[in-house]
Structure 1
């Protein structure tokens, strides 16, 4: 059930998560599956610590917010490209860490709610 092309540490974590009683979408979000297929060893957000989740969620939100605000400024505000870029950069820089912190807090809360071990402990436990 767990693809062979995923890194070994990710396969160990996913094997643990499939035994846990949590929603399937929490076990392996789609964007993470793409990253794992590329060989990146990024733990699923439900087992990652707050800092890792903050960084990953901030990157994801920046990739979504920057084009959104750029299109918004170009279409609805009627600015030229330079002012639209400044507008989109300004709001993306302000909102990206807020969204990153909110998402990281959500995953931290879910990990505690479902009593899931952090990823370092899962790998350490599997290697015993």
Structure 2
């Protein structure tokens, strides 16, 4: 398989990444400038990722460190930003991956009688198969 064939599906993953980043940023009430200040990235970098634009009219392909900086600033696990983060890589990004389901990450979670994993005023019980991170009104994503 040639290098070109290997990456034919990447634009769809870049599109999913950009849409997810934009949705999470907006749900957090942040502008691109706000997120740039929190991450130390250029606002243009964030804009390009959200629009799936890379260098020379190629799809966005951010470095892993960039994704971790964004996840940290947005207070979500990095997998929330990754298209189909918990699934084997398909030829194209699954359309269902554009649906998001996030809750604030710093809430406490009680996992089947265990102690809470994160400190917060409110603890919720997480049942098997229930996503831990949810943005209300945006559908659900697989864990």
Q: Same fold (TM over 0.5)?
A: no
Structure with the bigger percentage of strand: 2
Q: TM-score, normalization: structure 1?
A: 0.32
User: For the pair shown, which has the larger CA radius of gyration, 1 or 2?
Assistant: 1
Higher relative contact order at CA 8 Å, sep ≥6: structure 1 or structure 2? 1
Structure with the bigger percentage of helix: 1
